[in-house]
């Protein structure tokens, strides 16, 4: 391997997928962590002395998020009170195993962990629902319920922010997906780094500009414990197409991921465009999509 591009004197051991720089392990850690610190400070993601729930699935993104937030909190004295929040959807062979990883993270990173389950919140598990109605649309509805469960958890924990592990690839994929669907309402919201959950607790995405490949590399070189199995139920097929398209484009030019995010950020919806309104359900107070999922639940 050639020398590290920072001229630190060490030999490089990797090529950064995002920039093409060849770096040694220590310089990669520094570049990776500094970029997340820059994202956090530039967007003013957190106010000092705030309580932050990290939405922890046990997967690579939220594991790296928990690790890096703890590290940056200490290094730069953000003065954040960090806690882990996990949702147990009740999917045997998937979430039960990944929650064991989250418990390991809780011990390793010395952060409290709160687990909320669909069974306690809604009275059923995803295993039971799929046994009843099959796999059609289960991924979409499960996502809606997870959002609501995370919101409820954030309220219960009295946190000021809910941080999720969405990475640059996830955001670019969502921008692409909303373009392909012509979903203007979501298109204008999906690239925001801070979104309001509806309860006044902002959701933040500190890994918004972090490439998935680099997250995997970081977790590997830091020897972080994470869970990497796909959900046992049907994946979200439409997102799968957007993912394949993005990965193919990334092979040609890795900057396509940042370009799509920046395009999403710069898009301005024409005032005369026909926008669907986000209505609130008059029974539960949550947005209509959640109410639709609830109606699906009682069918
Ligand atoms: N069961 C869950 N409990 C808590 N947070 C979750 C859960 N599932 C997803 N999230 C949050 O939403 C983010 C994006 O969800 P996604 O489905 O991409 O996660 P994943 O692939 O299971 O795991 P990860 O993104 O952590 O690698 C996660 O990074 C995490 O912050």
> Is the pLDDT higher at 234 or at 54?
54
In the predicted structure, residue 298 carries a pLDDT above the cut 50 = no
Q: Binning pLDDT at 50, 70 and 90, where does residue 283 land?
A: low
Q: What is the pLDDT of residue 132?
A: 86
Kindly give the distance from the C-alpha atom of residue 59 to the centroid of ligand 1, in angstroms, as a whole number. Answer: 6
DSSP assigned state of 88: E
Domain residue ranges of the chain, discontinuous segments joined by +:
45-269
Q: How far is the CA of 165 from the centre of ligand 1 (A)?
A: 6
pLDDT at 183 over 90: no
Angle between helices 256-266 and 237-252 (to 10 degrees): 120
DSSP 123: S
Question: Other CB atoms closer than 10 Å to residue 65's CB: what's the count?
Answer: 25
Q: Is the CB of 86 under 6 A from ligand 1?
A: yes
pLDDT at residue 280 tops 80:
no
Residue whose Cα lies nearest atom 12 of ligand 1: it is 164
* Shortest-distance Cα residue to atom 8 of ligand 1: 57
What pLDDT score does 299 carry?
43
Q: What is the ipTM of this complex?
A: 0.96
* Residue 50 marked ligand-binding: no
Cβ of 87 closer than 6 Å to ligand 1, yes or no, is yes
Ligand 1: does its nearest atom lie under 6 Å from the Cβ of 203? Answer: no
Fold of 45-269: Rossmann fold (3.40.50)
Q: Is 133 annotated as a binding residue?
A: no
Does residue 116's CB lie within 6 angstroms of at least one atom of ligand 1?
no
CA of 265 to the centre of ligand 1 (A): 23
- Among candidates 133, 184, 155, which has minimal Cα distance to 285? 155
Ligand 1 pocket residue status of 55, Cβ below 6 Å:
yes
Instruction: Report how far apart, in Å, the C-alpha atoms of 174 and of each of 59, 161, 260 are.
Output: 19, 22, 10
Residue 93 to residue 178: CA distance in whole angstroms: 31
């Amino acid at each position: 391997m050639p020398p590290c591009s920072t001229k630190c004197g060490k030999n490089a051991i990797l090529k950064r997928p995002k920039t093409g720089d060849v770096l040694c392990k220590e310089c990669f850690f520094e570049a990776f962590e500094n970029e997340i610190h820059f994202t956090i400070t530039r967007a003013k993601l957190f106010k000092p002395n705030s309580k932050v729930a990290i939405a922890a699935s046990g997967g690579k993104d939220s594991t790296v998020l928990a690790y890096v937030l703890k590290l940056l909190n200490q290094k730069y004295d953000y003065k954040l009170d960090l806690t882990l929040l996990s949702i147990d959807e009740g999917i045997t062979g998937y979430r039960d195993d990944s929650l064991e990883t989250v418990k390991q993270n809780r011990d390793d990173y010395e952060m409290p962990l709160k687990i909320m389950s669909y069974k306690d919140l809604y009275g059923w598990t995803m295993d039971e629902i799929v046994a009843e109605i099959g796999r059609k649309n289960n991924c979409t509805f499960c996502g809606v319920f997870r959002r609501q469960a995370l919101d409820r958890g954030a309220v219960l924990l009295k946190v000021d922010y809910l941080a999720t592990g969405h990475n640059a690839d996830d955001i670019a994929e969502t921008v692409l997906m909303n373009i392909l669907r012509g979903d203007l309402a979501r298109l204008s919201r999906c690239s925001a780094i801070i979104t309001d959950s509806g309860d006044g607790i902002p959701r933040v995405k500190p890994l918004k500009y972090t490439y998935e490949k680099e997250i995997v590399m970081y977790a590997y070189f830091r020897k972080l414990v994470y869970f990497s199995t796909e959900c046992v139920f049907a994946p979200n097929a439409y997102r799968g197409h957007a993912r394949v398209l993005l990965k193919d484009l990334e092979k040609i030019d890795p900057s396509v991921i940042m370009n799509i995010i920046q395009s999403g950020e710069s898009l301005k919806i024409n005032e005369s465009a026909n926008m669907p309104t986000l209505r609130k359900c008059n029974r539960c107070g949550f947005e209509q999509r959640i109410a639709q999922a609830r109606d699906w639940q009682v069918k």
